Amino acid sequence: MSVHIGAEKGAIAESVLMPGDPLRARFIAENFLDDPVCYNEVRGMSGYTGSYKGKKISVQGSGMGQASLAIYTNELIDEYGVKNLIRVGSCGSYHKDIHVRDLIIAMSASTDSAMNKDRFNGHFFAPTADYGLFKAMIDTAEQLKMPFHAGNILATDTFYQDDREGWKKWAKFGVLGVEMESAALYTIAAGLGARALTVCTVSDNLATEEFTSSEEREKSFTEMMILALETILSFQ
Ligand code: HPA
**Residue 1 domain flag:** no
Average pLDDT over residues 165-169: 96
Alpha carbon distance 67, 113 (integer Å) = 10
Confidence of residue 216 (pLDDT cuts 50, 70, 90): confident
Confidence of residue 220 (pLDDT cuts 50, 70, 90): confident
The percentage of residues in the chain with a pLDDT greater than 90, rounded to a whole number, is 90
Per the structure, the complete domain to which residue 36 belongs is given by 15-235
Q: Which long-range contacts (CB under 8 A, 24 or more apart) does 186-192 make?
A: 186/108, 186/109, 186/127, 186/128, 186/129, 187/115, 187/116, 187/119, 187/125, 187/127, 188/70, 188/73, 188/74, 188/77, 189/73, 189/77, 189/85, 189/130, 190/127, 190/128, 192/74, 192/77, 192/78
Query: Does the beta carbon of 90 lie inside 6 Å of ligand 1?
Result: yes
**Residue 124 domain flag:** yes
**Residue 81 domain flag:** yes
* Nearest CA residue ID for atom 7, ligand 1: 92
**Residue 147 domain flag:** yes
Look at residues 59, 62, 89, 57 and name the one whose alpha carbon lies nearest to residue 73. 62
Query: Does the beta carbon of 92 lie inside 6 Å of ligand 1?
Result: yes
H/E run at residue 106: strand 103-111
**Residue 2 domain flag:** no
Query: Does the beta carbon of 154 lie inside 6 Å of ligand 1?
Result: no
pLDDT for 214 equals 76
* Nearest CA residue ID for atom 10, ligand 1: 91
Alpha carbon distance 70, 67 (integer Å) = 5
Q: Per-residue pLDDT tens for 94-127?
A: 999 999 999 999 999 999 999 999 999 999 999 9
| Extended strands (E) in the chain | 15-18, 34-40, 47-52, 55-60, 84-93, 103-111, 149-155, 177-179, 195-205, 210-211
Confidence of residue 32 (pLDDT cuts 50, 70, 90): very high
C-alpha dihedral, 50 to 56 to 62 to 66, nearest 10°: -170
Look at residues 180, 132, 135 and name the one whose alpha carbon lies nearest to residue 20. 180
**Residue 8 domain flag:** no
Strand partners, 117: none
C-alpha dihedral, 17 to 22 to 26 to 32, nearest 10°: -30
pLDDT for 1 equals 87
- Cβ neighbours for 123, distance < 8 A, ≥ 6 positions apart: none
Predicted TM-score (pTM) of the model is: 0.96
Query: Does the beta carbon of 111 lie inside 6 Å of ligand 1?
Result: no
**Residue 167 domain flag:** yes
The enclosing domain of 99 has a CATH number of 3.40.50.1580
- Counting from 1 in the atom list of ligand 1, the atom nearest the Cα of 91 is 9
**Residue 149 domain flag:** yes
Number of domains in the chain: 1
Question: 157 an active-site residue?
Answer: no
pLDDT for 2 equals 87
